[in-house]
Amino acid sequence: MNVNLLSLLTRIGPVLAAGASLVMAGFASAQPASMIFTCVNAKGQNLRSDRPIAECTDREQRILSREGTLIRILPPTLTAEERAAKEARERQLAAEKVAQKEAERADRLLMQRYPNEAAHDKSRSAALDRARDLLAESQARLIQLAAERKPLLTESEFYPNKPLPPKLKQELDAIEAATAAQRMLVISQQAEIVRISALYDAELARLRKLWSGAVPGTLGPIAPVQTASAPVKSTAEK
């Protein structure tokens, strides 16, 4: 008898186990149905449902258990315009965060490059000396071109109201073109000297705050230096 009972239990054991698994799976799948959605609609009415309430998509809905315990709050569904505005705000915040990190990194690099004002002054002088050397070369070239142009103008006076000989005209045209190019270069180099000075002035003002204890990245983004200056006439143009 005991042997038969043991044999029977052996045969139905897997069936009972499978049945138990199905019961547990059914219980798990039924869990969402035990939640209650509640909200107050636009008319002030308290609504309840076992699923999200369509009338309350524009406002938050409270999700409760059957016992009344708050499980979570379902936020309102955004319209297309609201979603676009939210995404724009998130992009702006992300861009501001990136700019903040970049400003902090730039400030730290600036302090590493210039640990004190003497180091900054030395760098300024070197940069200005290079720019002034290039300006001096262009101004010297203008003086040379003016000297080369003078005898050609004297020779051209022998042809009043007449076409100039091709060679003479070609030489004069070449000098005029070279002179115009050098004058533009002088203007550019003068503007570069002003830009360098303005850049180092802005850097020094920022560095003095950092040296005094300002936290890197708290001084705002480093704005590009934009300057305008009236060009100084070169010796050859006077």
pLDDT at 175: 96
- Treating both helix axes as pointing N-terminal to C-terminal, what angle do 80-113 and 166-211 enclose, rounded to 10 degrees? 90
Residue 85 inside a domain? The answer is no
Mean pLDDT (whole number) for 14-25 = 41
Question: DSSP letters of 190-231?
Answer: HHHHHHHHHHHHHHHHHHHHHHTTPPTT-S---PPP----PP
- Is the pLDDT at 4 greater than 60? The verdict is no
Domain edge (last residue) among 20, 46, 79: 79
Mean pLDDT (whole number) for 124-144 = 97
Residue 237 DSSP symbol: G
Residue 1 inside a domain? The answer is no
β-strand partners of 47: 39
Residue 189 inside a domain? The answer is yes
- Is the pLDDT at 151 greater than 80? The verdict is yes
pLDDT in tens, 163-183: 999 999 999 999 999 999 999
pLDDT in tens, 134-143: 999 999 999 9
Residue 204 inside a domain? The answer is yes
Q: Are 64 and 38 in contact (CB under 8 A)?
A: yes
Sheet hosting strand 46-49, strand order edge to edge: 46-49, 36-40, 61-64, 70-74
Amino acid at 238: K
Q: Which two tokens stand for residue 115?
A: 């640990």
Give dist(CA 51, CA 57) in Å, integer. Answer: 12
pLDDT in tens, 96-113: 999 889 999 999 999 999
68 — pLDDT class (breaks 50, 70, 90)? confident
Give dist(CA 196, CA 124) in Å, integer. Answer: 8
Residue 27 inside a domain? The answer is no
225 — pLDDT class (breaks 50, 70, 90)? low
Q: For the chain, how many structural domains are there in total?
A: 2
